[in-house]
Amino acid sequence: MIVENNKVVSLSYELKVNGETVETVGADSPLMFLFGAGNLLPKFEKNLDGLKLNDSFDFELVSADAYGPVNEDAIVDVPMQAFAVDGEIDRNLLNVGHHIPMLDQSGNRLNGIVVKFDDEFVTMDFNHPLAGNDLHFSGKVVEIREASADELEHGHVHSPESCSNCTDPDCHSKEH
């Protein structure tokens, strides 16, 4: 069996940025995904296409093929009052480098990082944390299997490890 569309693929890997390891995923708890479902970076999947069980991989994605350049428009000043809970500012949230999940005006979830703050505004960076970086991946294909009909219908893997990632309101898998 090979890595191709509609297969569930499990990988162990190491991700490096500028020679420093930023993430390690072991074979005991691999990244498991439905190949070709559009859930991962397209060039990441392209580099895995056609690999077999136990094949190793080693490739780099340039910033443009990963999370793109840093977008200065995604660094914004948010009024301090947006961090109020019951009229009180939660100062425990306001630490430089702290990740804060927020919602935009349309209700879309955004993850921001506190860059700085003063008495009136909190400067938040809503870029992906790896934006502006080339990504170096090395690892191994640790499992390939056929996707179930439910997985194909919902576009993601159904397993205890991934149940928290489902945002499909019509997904009612007992395994999920």
Question: Cα(first)–Cα(last) distance of the chain, in Å?
Answer: 25
Distance (Å, whole) CA 168 – CA 154 = 7
Q: Note the pLDDT of residue 85.
A: 84
The tens place of each residue's pLDDT in the chain, 176 residues long, gives 999 999 999 999 999 999 999 999 999 999 999 999 999 999 999 999 999 999 999 999 999 999 999 999 999 999 999 888 888 887 888 899 999 999 888 999 999 999 999 999 999 999 999 999 999 999 999 999 999 999 999 999 997 554 444 555 555 444 44
CATH code for the part of the protein at 7-67+132-165:
3.10.50.40
Q: Note the pLDDT of residue 92.
A: 80
Architecture of domain 72-125: Beta Barrel (2.40)
Distance (Å, whole) CA 46 – CA 156 = 18
Domain boundaries, the chain: 7-67+132-165, 72-125
For residue 168, the tally of other CB atoms under 10 A from its CB is 13
Helix (H) or strand (E) holding 28: none
* 3-class secondary structure, 119: coil
Identical fold for domains 7-67+132-165 and 72-125, yes or no, is: no
